[in-house]
Chains A and B, each alone.
Chain A
Amino acid sequence: MVTFTINGASQTVDVDSDVPLLWVLRDELTLTGTKYGCGVAQCGACTVHVDGRAVRACVMPAASLPGREVVTIEGVSGKVAQAVQTAWRKLDVAQCGYCQSGQIMSAIALLTEIPRPSDADIDAGMSGNVCRCATYVRIRAAIHEAAGTLGG
């Protein structure tokens, strides 16, 4: 049994301590917006926020969850999140869309930390998120767009 906060609500799940957060979210809580892409923290499709920081859910075991606050794409909110999601829609970033939850969660974390990122900041903050459709041109543009609307 582990108890943690998910999208603002306390939740107790009956899982073994080695089950990664990704599968707690997907198989136990049916929060399927967070995606499985590689299982070894190489692609970023499973990016969520844990205590406000971008984390790869596929390598975070349930044992480390008690007392943590986890936010997924389904629950992310606030000015930065709204600016990012609006920019994503405005520029039609998504193609297949499978990696985009992770991209968006990483972008929100980046903009929260660096309100006006340079291209180099974006490369550094986003290079852990793979997109096989290679939507990178628009990811970069959308992050700049969101930074602009936030007045950063």
Chain B
Amino acid sequence: MVTRRRFLQSTALGGAALLVGVRLDGRQALAADDVFAPNAFVRIAPDNTVTIIGKHLEMGQGSYTGLAVILAEELDADWSQIRVEAAPADVTRYNNTKWGPIQGTGGSTSLAESWEQLRRAGATARAMLVEAAAQEWGVPASEITVDGGVVSHAASNRRATFGELASKAAALTPPAQVTLKDPKDFKLVGKRVPRLDGSAKTDGSAKFTMDFAEPGMLTALIARPPRFGATVKWVDTIGARRVKGVTRVVQVPAGVAVVATSFWAARKGREALRVAWDESRAETRGSDELFAAYRVLAGRPGTSARREGDAAGALRGATRVLEAFYEFPYLAHAPMEPLDAVVRLGADGCDLWAGSQIPTVDQQVVATIVGLPPAKVRVHTMLAGGSFGRRATPNGDVAGEAAAVAKAVGGDKPVKVVWTREDDIQGGRYRPLYVHRLRAGLDAQGNIVGWEHRIVGQSILQGTPFEGMVKNGVDATSVEGASTLPYAIPNITVELHTTRVGVPVLWWRSVGSTHTAFSTETFLDELAQAAGRDPLEVRRTLLAKHPRHRATLDLAAEKAGWGEPLPPGRARGIAVHESFESVVAQVAEVSRRPDGLPKVERVVCAVDCGTAINPDVVRAQMEGGIGFGLAGALWSEITLVRGRVQQRNFDGYRPLRINDMPAVEVHIVPSGAAPTGVGEPGVPPIAPAVANALYQLTGQRVRRLPFARLAPAGTRTA
């Protein structure tokens, strides 16, 4: 007998045992005895609702809907009876199977890693419902069919809903073996279904961490150092404590927390705070100094990330050698929901409410700070208002801050730590600043005979619990996309210089490919131009052994009308890139704005992501990835002067607005292969595609991002 409660007891983890999920409205679901819960991923209630337990954070990428489709498909449920809840933190049941013993969302793995697991979970539940009906009706299970949430036996004309069979099914033992569907019988996978969170996100009822409220809850803002690495020297709290609503001012590792009964009081209190900072160990270099130092390093051999043939020799023997340096700034993630977390201490443990991308880490960090075993920290995963990687911190930064403040304050009221937008833009954990140097040689026929690529920048993994992933001195997140260049070039070297800078860095949607796709795809275009060849044909030729790349490229080119005439003042550029096991090709059609910057009019995107579980979500992620990548390419940059971040809010750190957004067409390469990443792969190709189009239009090569730098200061238009 596997009722929900029994199941939970059998996997009991101290205080976490009776936890079930968080609903979209932020409320806690309740465990009930009469619910059929054959495994950790689905509950079927007598009211005929089917609740999917989503172990991956919903941060906009459609994970809840995708996870539900996989399970509902094998269950043969009706989409209208599906509900979703966030899983609690419990690594024994909800670990990411691609990552090992850690529960987390990232690397565009959610659906890919859940595919087999949730198909089996759904098929198991279905088999038990069928068995329950077979016993109830006294008919062979093999004669029973299931469709749209209804179990039927045609010969005896009997039917039952899942809800009617739930309690009977709960008394059965799950089968050891289940048969998965033949993909040709899929009814939900590959079809358009409405997003499960679409309605709640249209009427204001969807609850994010920012919206968490309980009587007596306190809100804390933290005064943070103006330079990374500085610490509090002294603090004068008198002014802050005089502000109406401010209840406490406490020092925490991140800075000085002003705790108040409302956000506004905390903000005013923080403004009234006087803090002197010890900057003796702070990072004081600026972006210009870093770029200069990195350029010097780019001229010297680095740690090998890939070596095939003899690139140096090939370049010496080449008819023509091209060289280019590329510069990429720090980038903030700037999710629309600023960073936040709520912690409540209680007699029986501690609660964390957060849009947590890595619950295992956040749980451990909070547990360590408040002095409890991790199982006593109940993690309630809320909807996240965007993340783009920012909520996946190896040190659980924001959750840890909330825990530190709650501990310092004491009592049993929840404490919500909020980062203001200024805190977010200035607070670090950026996509690292990089310099690339590329050299390549052409022979007399215009063939690429050698390719040398050097990358200089900080490691994202170094100094984190994930440092073990750095192999032979190479952090793959620094070189991915370059070290994996798919083109058939006989002599290739890729080298890395890992720098140490006091600016905290982090993965930013599509990680290494945010910069490697730009340098490789624009440099390849430059080589094609130098050889007098068509950029599409060059890629096709060099991708002869990569059929997925080639098919994706061909689909984008065909749909975009590559080679067909355009109106005057318009040009096309193309780029293709593989990331997270998916291949995306994009053709950008651009015109030129009065200030010289490109205006992207239209983007045609083709994607091979294996089986497209939710084609409409795939399209949405390509559209959004293009917009996100375009923001970084056109406008956004974090610059430091003497260690201080120059941007404060969306006025200085310019996002993409609707008037910048091109028309987007998405075409999905038909595939029956296992699903691969979707959340990130739409980002990398857009910047190089636009740069390549701009070159066709103006003859100008872009080697420093963002494009906004092309326009002389003061001439940029909105």
Instruction: Give A contacts to B, CB under 8 Å.
Output: 16, 19-20, 23, 26-28, 30, 32-40, 42-43, 45, 72-74, 85, 88-89, 92-101, 104, 122-124, 126-127, 129-140
* SS class, residues of chain B in contact with chain A: loop
Is the beta-carbon distance between B336 and A96 smaller than 8 angstroms? Answer: yes
At the interface, yes or no: B663 with Cβ under 8 Å from chain A?
yes
A16, A73, A85, A92, most chain B CB atoms within 10 A: A92
At the interface, yes or no: B631 with Cβ under 8 Å from chain A?
yes
Which single residue of chain A is at the shortest CB-CB distance from B616? A92
Is the beta-carbon distance between B337 and A100 smaller than 8 angstroms? Answer: no
Is the beta-carbon distance between A37 and B338 smaller than 8 angstroms? Answer: yes
- A96–B661 alpha-carbon span in the complex (Å): 18
* SS class, residues of chain A in contact with chain B: loop
At the interface, yes or no: B618 with Cβ under 8 Å from chain A?
no
Is the beta-carbon distance between A134 and B631 smaller than 8 angstroms? Answer: yes
- A126–B657 alpha-carbon span in the complex (Å): 8
Is the beta-carbon distance between B264 and A72 smaller than 8 angstroms? Answer: no
Which chain B residues lie closer than 8 Å to A130 at the CB level?
Answer: 336, 650, 655-657
| CB within 8 Å for A96 and B60 given contacts A30-B213, A33-B204, A37-B336 | yes
At the interface, yes or no: B624 with Cβ under 8 Å from chain A?
yes
- A32–B658 alpha-carbon span in the complex (Å): 25
Q: Which of B341-400 contact A (CB under 8 A)?
A: 383-388
Which of B208, B420, B620, B626 contacts A39 (CB under 8 A)? B420
Other A-B pairs, 11, CB within 8 Å; known A37-B421, A129-B658: A19-B262, A32-B210, A35-B210, A35-B337, A36-B418, A39-B422, A43-B336, A74-B203, A95-B386, A124-B659, A131-B336
Which single residue of chain A is at the shortest CB-CB distance from B628? A134
Is the beta-carbon distance between A95 and B62 smaller than 8 angstroms? Answer: yes
Q: How many whole Å from A149's CB to the nearest CB in chain B?
A: 15
Q: How many whole Å from B500's CB to the nearest CB in chain A?
A: 30
Q: Which of B186-208 contact A (CB under 8 A)?
A: 194-195, 197-208
A89, A123, A135, A137, most chain B CB atoms within 10 A: A137
Is the beta-carbon distance between A95 and B264 smaller than 8 angstroms? Answer: no
Is the beta-carbon distance between B264 and A19 smaller than 8 angstroms? Answer: yes
Is the beta-carbon distance between B336 and A139 smaller than 8 angstroms? Answer: no
At the interface, yes or no: B545 with Cβ under 8 Å from chain A?
no
Q: How many whole Å from A128's CB to the nearest CB in chain B?
A: 8
Is the beta-carbon distance between B263 and A36 smaller than 8 angstroms? Answer: yes
Is the beta-carbon distance between A92 and B337 smaller than 8 angstroms? Answer: no
Is the beta-carbon distance between B263 and A137 smaller than 8 angstroms? Answer: no
Which single residue of chain B is at the shortest CB-CB distance from A139? B658
B204, B263, B338, B631, most chain A CB atoms within 10 A: B204
Is the beta-carbon distance between A135 and B620 smaller than 8 angstroms? Answer: yes
Is the beta-carbon distance between A92 and B650 smaller than 8 angstroms? Answer: no
At the interface, yes or no: B646 with Cβ under 8 Å from chain A?
no
Is the beta-carbon distance between A27 and B262 smaller than 8 angstroms? Answer: yes
Which of B202, B205, B335, B616 contacts A88 (CB under 8 A)? B202
Q: Which of B300-340 contact A (CB under 8 A)?
A: 334-338
Is the beta-carbon distance between B264 and A100 smaller than 8 angstroms? Answer: no
Which single residue of chain A is at the shortest CB-CB distance from B65? A92
Which single residue of chain A is at the shortest CB-CB distance from B665? A137
- A139–B194 alpha-carbon span in the complex (Å): 16
At the interface, yes or no: B61 with Cβ under 8 Å from chain A?
yes
| CB within 8 Å for A100 and B334 given contacts A133-B624, A134-B631 | no
Is the beta-carbon distance between A127 and B616 smaller than 8 angstroms? Answer: no
Q: Which 10 A-B pairs have the closest CB atoms?
A: A134-B627, A33-B204, A98-B385, A97-B201, A96-B60, A73-B204, A95-B60, A32-B211, A136-B661, A94-B201
Is the beta-carbon distance between B203 and A33 smaller than 8 angstroms? Answer: yes
Which chain B residues lie closer than 8 Å to A140 at the CB level?
Answer: 658, 661
Q: How many whole Å from A32's CB to the nearest CB in chain B?
A: 4
At the interface, yes or no: B91 with Cβ under 8 Å from chain A?
no
| CB within 8 Å for A38 and B649 given contacts A23-B262, A33-B205 | yes
The digit string for B545-562, where 1 denotes a CB below 8 A from any CB of A, is 000000000000000000
At the interface, yes or no: B578 with Cβ under 8 Å from chain A?
no
| CB within 8 Å for A123 and B388 given contacts A92-B194, A97-B206, A134-B624 | no
Q: Which of B487-506 contact A (CB under 8 A)?
A: none
